[in-house]
Structure 1
């Protein structure tokens, strides 16, 4: 925690105000009351001039604020001789920055923890030998063998070489229970090793590792300003008018100009200027604690207003790791020949099914060969040449353009087909099964309960496959065989807005960017998808989509409650002061209490720790309503 001297240096106006107050107290005790008035009044007018300069700059840039109330209150109290009240108002204004900074630091504690924990050192091992060489984490190369000592942070993404290990991934996923890994399992940078030293084989450089990606997202997120903060600014004009009207009427009816100052002392801007930003920083912090990076407070506000959700299918509503269940060759081709050539061609594809085909071929003991040339037609398939043989692998429509006799395979629920043509002849199909996520249906129901009533599936897969997934989840609107451009056009054409788009692949990046809120399943998804999205889910759990919307609702509610709490208390006290029941000095002290109440209420947006431990959307209750943790 910062020391008192460092805090005083950090906030010079607060320091100067306190010094003036202490000097004034000394003068008053010595009987120099006239000098106290000149000191307090002169200093207050200097601060009012500084505030006026800042207000004029804001007005020129088109930003309307309520600094005019504070300036008017300072001048009014000085004019009527309420010097103690004027210095209290100045202390409130200069101390507002310190209060905001403290509250913001409290709200962003979890976000800042990510930045301060970035791994700096790695212990590199020779493949033969036990001596570890300490190197900078940024110097680690793919394939390096690294030693991770007990309780150390994993420096880069890697694969576990040791037989077994336990890692704390709470700072990455929000999961408080340590995760046990076996040899060959992926280990994320930023995870904390357990009680035994282990070895890890680097699979990515520091720059491209999961932890550094999170740090980059957090840095971007923490620098944003929410539209609701601008909404709070828009309360300034009516609040200023009401405050001046109450003060003017009080002066007119009473005939006492002191009454004008007594009312305006209670009409200060801090609840509007501080409470909303604190609430949104708290909401972003809460989301990060739940394994969700939100790139800005404005995203939380849009999530709270969302009315439509659009899902990609593969890797989003489904697990994204389909397994090959059958190879159906068309004569005269054999099953091994079809699988081997298809897998060799799929080496040049970025589609999620490519890895499944290659894995099935290797498991069958088949050799994959390098192509002389290969090209991928995005979302359609791959065309590769091996010597004199031309192999096309992909969708039925793509294969039919090379082999007109291509026929659709018969599929059952959850299955999808990859088609193959060899030398212009239809060579058959490979059947894969990609299971629907166990909590996908509950997530859709949870979103509906949160006001996101309309749901769609947009996918590049075949209509029959998409329909099977939609039937299993209760989704009635499906658009299949979509190119990336088709998805963009469909999302732009949706009338029920704001629209959330949830996806995970490279082909989802354009539509994530054009949606009102793009949510990327970043645990296994592409960097391109994460960079173009507004929200990145760091764990492979679609229920965090509903969690993000719930946090958005909570954050906006708390922000608006804080704004209205400050306004209501200020207006109520102004009405009381209008009848002469609150002296100016007492009013200035009461306004400090109003400010503190608004800020403390805004800090509620950080949320309780309980929702950090809810790792999935529970199944629907007997009544069919999902039990969603919203904090």
Structure 2
């Protein structure tokens, strides 16, 4: 009994059971198996048809909502009245089957999106005024609460650090693979992960105001119902209901055969037309989630299909936070560049910081060996490392670390560091035995997929352009590496908007891809805006139509192909539904179709539309 109760409480299982029973009953009715007091098709009418009629009546009475289910309910009722029980059961069964397929398409499409909601932290560690520490559900945190975050824990709410130093992995929020050093006064966001040091923070934004919750609301906005073309199909459906009633009444009046009128009602149901667009849109959205693409609105797919130019931001878009050793400069006459790199790599060999690991990787790549093992290693979060290598005290870190250890930096070294920073590089100062020795400059690397992405866009007859605030040399270097022929450098946010508007006035529909707050105006101005970092800069994401959750621009060519394929599928669906509808209508008027055959022809068309849309879920670009 418990299993039976559980079966009926589970909506999906109940639907499948009702469909199986209805199918069996229709088979019994069609082949006239056994001697039953009633037509077995009544099982299908009761299990599948009654819910349709109930929904139609409720919609009509409460909202005067004249849609497909009204016509279906009329067709079912009319078929039963004239004794076409099997036809009524068949209509009910195929409509219920089509509804289930649509729900499965939508459910599968949203499954990948809903996984993102699981990023939300569950608990927080609150410090009471008397110093006691207790773990509470994250939703209980209030603005102003003092929280403690230990290494490896996820930040529960947005806030400001009040004590401690650490490095935060913000990849879930910004897409940056490099942890960001944080100290007193710095902001931290919910969903980010504390890597090294423990710190205390004051809660500033909690609950629905936190960064992660804003992203969850963004996820939930991925609704095919927002596509403009869906509303158009709905309006057509309303008119078709009216035309169907007039046609059925007119045919009955002219021919005097009510069976023809009932057949018209059966085949005139605009189910396939109504299903044509939302199923394709949701299947397209579902396919995109499997490739790390979050589509906010269905009509973004419609616009993406018309894109002819893609504008890339540079930093964080064509490049990613994986630094490489770009330069080693020694300012100690007795220390060569190779020796400086060797000593620094040895000191950094125990470091967990990505900058330290990049130095070690650079040494290993150049010398084909591992660095020496350091002694007395000490890492200071947000500063750098110190260690003893071959009896030499090595200090590697930022300017603050040098100052805290009484290491004075010469103007020559500071000027060299400024030049490297001007090219977007990160500088590590190195001191040996308490005196400045030089610097190591690390540069953000070009994404491995950037050049291939640009090439694939070119194959799709989509041009690429680079819009960046960097100077000409840095912009040109990245553009050449990515294979982008056109570069606009030294761009302020308004400059990026100007160039996008200029291209679009030339009838070139622009897709802008960016990641930062400074990209938000351009993302909003572009025909389609694509934000990097998934839930990165919330201003940029809110300005965009699409977010690349995994920060992988290699998904962009697939996104454009998917958009084109989705619009092609919608056009095929609409054409198929209209052709089948009107062909069946004329055949019904001429008496060539009875209600049974009419139901079969029409509703199989609806199922075909849904299946055609569902194929988008497995679409893969070459």
Separation in 2, partners of 1:473, 1:142? 44
Query: Does the aligned pair in 1 maintain the 2:456–2:557 contact within 8 Å?
Result: yes
Give the drift of 1:319. 2.9
Map 1:282-361 → 2, pairs under 5 A: 282-319=283-320, 325=327
Separation in 2, partners of 1:42, 1:181? 59
Indicate which of 450, 463, 466 corresponds to 2:475.
466
Counterpart residue number, 2:8: 4
Give the drift of 1:272. 2.2
Give the drift of 1:231. 4.3
SS in 1 for 2:267: coil
SS in 2 for 1:135: strand
Alignment pair present for 1:630 and 2:612: no
CA spacing shift, 1:79–1:47, aligned 2, 3 Å: farther
CA spacing shift, 1:56–1:466, aligned 2, 3 Å: same
Indicate which of 533, 545, 564 corresponds to 1:553.
564
Counterpart residue number, 1:107: 109
SS in 2 for 1:265: helix
Separation in 2, partners of 1:308, 1:238? 39
Separation in 1, partners of 2:82, 2:487? 71
Root-mean-square deviation (Å)? 6.0
Separation in 1, partners of 2:13, 2:552? 46
Indicate which of 565, 576, 598 corresponds to 1:587.
598
Counterpart residue number, 1:367: 400
Alignment pair present for 1:599 and 2:616: no
Map 1:182-331 → 2, pairs under 5 A: 212=213, 214-222=215-223, 224-233=225-234, 236=237, 256-319=257-320, 325=327
Give the drift of 1:503. 0.7
Give the drift of 1:585. 3.4
CA spacing shift, 1:416–1:190, aligned 2, 3 Å: closer
Give the drift of 1:56. 5.1
Separation in 1, partners of 2:55, 2:146? 56
Alignment pair present for 1:454 and 2:463: yes
Query: Does the aligned pair in 2 maintain the 1:48–1:75 contact within 8 Å?
Result: no
Separation in 2, partners of 1:525, 1:116? 17
Query: Does the aligned pair in 2 maintain the 1:227–1:301 contact within 8 Å?
Result: no
CA spacing shift, 1:359–1:547, aligned 2, 3 Å: farther
SS in 2 for 1:261: helix
CA spacing shift, 1:3–1:189, aligned 2, 3 Å: farther
Separation in 2, partners of 1:260, 1:268? 13
Counterpart residue number, 2:514: 503
Query: Does the aligned pair in 2 maintain the 1:415–1:434 contact within 8 Å?
Result: no
Counterpart residue number, 1:424: none
Give the drift of 1:90. 6.5
CA spacing shift, 1:439–1:580, aligned 2, 3 Å: same
CA spacing shift, 1:518–1:81, aligned 2, 3 Å: same
Give the drift of 1:154. 9.7
Q: Residue by residue, what CA displacement relative to the aligned partner does 1:60-92 show, whole Å, maximum 9, x if unpaired?
A: xxxxx6677547756865786757646765676
TM norm structure 1: 0.59
Indicate which of 436, 442, 452 corresponds to 2:452.
442
Structure 1 unmatched ranges of 5 or more: 33-38, 59-64, 126-130, 159-166, 174-179, 193-197, 330-355, 371-391, 397-408, 419-429, 609-628
Give the drift of 1:225. 2.3
Give the drift of 1:501. 0.7
Query: Does the aligned pair in 1 maintain the 2:56–2:70 contact within 8 Å?
Result: no
Query: Does the aligned pair in 2 maintain the 1:220–1:295 contact within 8 Å?
Result: yes
CA spacing shift, 1:3–1:551, aligned 2, 3 Å: farther
Counterpart residue number, 2:165: none
Query: Does the aligned pair in 2 maintain the 1:524–1:540 contact within 8 Å?
Result: no
Give the drift of 1:143. 5.2
Give the drift of 1:540. 3.3
Separation in 1, partners of 2:136, 2:52? 56
Give the drift of 1:473. 3.0
SS in 1 for 2:511: strand
CA spacing shift, 1:141–1:596, aligned 2, 3 Å: farther
Give the drift of 1:146. 5.8
Counterpart residue number, 1:486: 495
Q: Residue by residue, what CA displacement relative to the aligned partner does 1:534-588 show, whole Å, maximum 9, x if unpaired?
A: 2121223221222332332333333443444444444444454444343213433
Greater displacement, 572-581 / 488-497? 572-581
CA spacing shift, 1:603–1:99, aligned 2, 3 Å: closer
Query: Does the aligned pair in 1 maintain the 2:535–2:541 contact within 8 Å?
Result: no
Counterpart residue number, 1:539: 550
CA spacing shift, 1:266–1:460, aligned 2, 3 Å: same
Separation in 1, partners of 2:441, 2:243? 70
Separation in 2, partners of 1:462, 1:211? 34
Counterpart residue number, 1:375: none
Structure 2 unmatched ranges of 5 or more: 30-34, 40-45, 160-168, 183-188, 332-357, 359-381, 386-394, 404-413, 427-439
Counterpart residue number, 2:338: none
CA spacing shift, 1:118–1:286, aligned 2, 3 Å: farther
CA spacing shift, 1:584–1:200, aligned 2, 3 Å: farther
Alignment pair present for 1:476 and 2:485: yes
Counterpart residue number, 1:518: 529
TM norm structure 2: 0.59
Give the drift of 1:10. 11
CA spacing shift, 1:55–1:561, aligned 2, 3 Å: farther
Map 1:370-389 → 2, pairs under 5 A: none
CA spacing shift, 1:191–1:512, aligned 2, 3 Å: closer
SS in 2 for 1:539: coil
Give the drift of 1:431. 8.4
Separation in 1, partners of 2:53, 2:313? 60
Indicate which of 140, 144, 154 corresponds to 2:149.
144
Separation in 2, partners of 1:415, 1:43? 67
Query: Does the aligned pair in 1 maintain the 2:319–2:446 contact within 8 Å?
Result: yes
Give the drift of 1:236. 4.3
Q: Residue by residue, what CA displacement relative to the aligned partner does 1:426-451 show, whole Å, maximum 9, x if unpaired?
A: xxxx9874443222121112223334
Give the drift of 1:479. 2.0
Give the drift of 1:502. 0.5
Greater displacement, 439-448 / 461-470? 461-470
Give the drift of 1:531. 2.6
